[in-house]
Amino acid sequence: PEMFHLIASKDANINTLSDLKEKRIALMPEGSGSYNLFWPLSQHYGLTETDFQFRPMDAEDAHRSLRAGTVDALFRIIGLGNKSVGELLADNQFELVPIDQIGALQLTQPYLEPTIIPKGSYDGGAPIPSKDLPVVAVSALLIAHVDVNPEVVNAITRILYEHRSELIRVNPRAANVQSPEISQNLGFPLHEGARAYYTQDNPSFLVTYAEPIGLLMSVGILLCSSLWQGRQWLIRNQKDRADRYNLEILDLIEKIEQAQSFSELQNLRQQLLEILRKVVVDLDIDRISPESFQSFTFPWEVANSALRHQEIILSNRTTSAIE
């Protein structure tokens, strides 16, 4: 999901979206999703265009303006963990502002989703944010023109789902790719090629073997309680496994900070990569859930950053010793 980020200067005293009144805010360029979605959000909080000064600009200019103090806040919709946002929040002058009332927002904007920015998402040490922060999110959609060859769209859809493990190795956020539910409001109809992929396994024998299927459904009702308990056990097991991996990462971070040689760091790097390999394998065979995998990526990235930082420290010590 793409999350709503409202970042404000701490000196501006912006604690909720309503506090934007009489403030200066940087928006993304006109015509962008961030720009268009800001207005129904601000209107819900009782704000109009005349209540504040807004300046459309690209992301770099928005960050630059907030640092320079020419705007009090900026609004953009972006995936969690964005590097430029992390660098901005690392400066203690700025903070994320919560966005709540999702239930009321969904009455007029049903495509919005409730979510949180987990504590420490942008810095596990400080942490930033200092607690789980409620925000609003929208699903990122891959949209194709209706005239695109259905075979091409079908092939793209097949790659996204049947080569999921390979994609996750390149970008861990590929674990969040999900198939659309029938009841999900996408805002667009499914392309013919994508629909063919999602429905390819729909068996035609449903009509032919209606009576046996009815019998199986009757038996299934009797087994619902057992299946529900099994599902709860699976969820607990997935969470416990993910928690064990996170504890291993935290232990590695402590060892990284105490490392005194490059050989120690190289050994710790291998351990870190081996943990990632195990997690990817467990994700592929459903030993951990996509949600648990997403929470795992943050401490893993913190550990990776700690490795690079410790390498710099050891390099500086070596240089000083030579001089």
Same domain, 52 and 174: no
Which region among 29-33, 82-86, 176-180, 283-287 has the lowest average model confidence (pLDDT)?
176-180
Separation of alpha carbons 74 and 7, rounded Å = 5
Q: Please, what is the average pLDDT of the chain?
A: 84
- What pLDDT was estimated at residue 183? 45
Structural domains of the chain, count: 3
- What pLDDT was estimated at residue 224? 79
Q: What confidence category does residue 106 fall into, taking pLDDT thresholds of 50, 70 and 90?
A: confident
- What pLDDT was estimated at residue 54? 94
For residue 25, pLDDT beyond 50: yes
Single out the residue of 210, 223, 86, 78 nearest to residue 138, CA to CA. Answer: 78
Over range 173-177, report the average pLDDT: 70
Q: State the DSSP code for 31.
A: T
Same domain, 253 and 300: yes
Q: What confidence category does residue 261 fall into, taking pLDDT thresholds of 50, 70 and 90?
A: confident
Same domain, 189 and 217: no
Same domain, 185 and 219: no
Same domain, 149 and 263: no
Burial class (CB in 10 A: 0-12, 13-18, 19+), 44: middle
Same domain, 194 and 215: no
Range of the domain at 193: 144-202
Single out the residue of 16, 82, 31, 25 nearest to residue 54, CA to CA. Answer: 25
What's this model's pTM, rounded to 2 decimal places? 0.52
Over range 150-160, report the average pLDDT: 87
Which region among 54-58, 240-244, 305-309 has the lowest average model confidence (pLDDT)?
240-244
Single out the residue of 58, 41, 43 nearest to residue 98, CA to CA. Answer: 41
Same domain, 94 and 119: yes
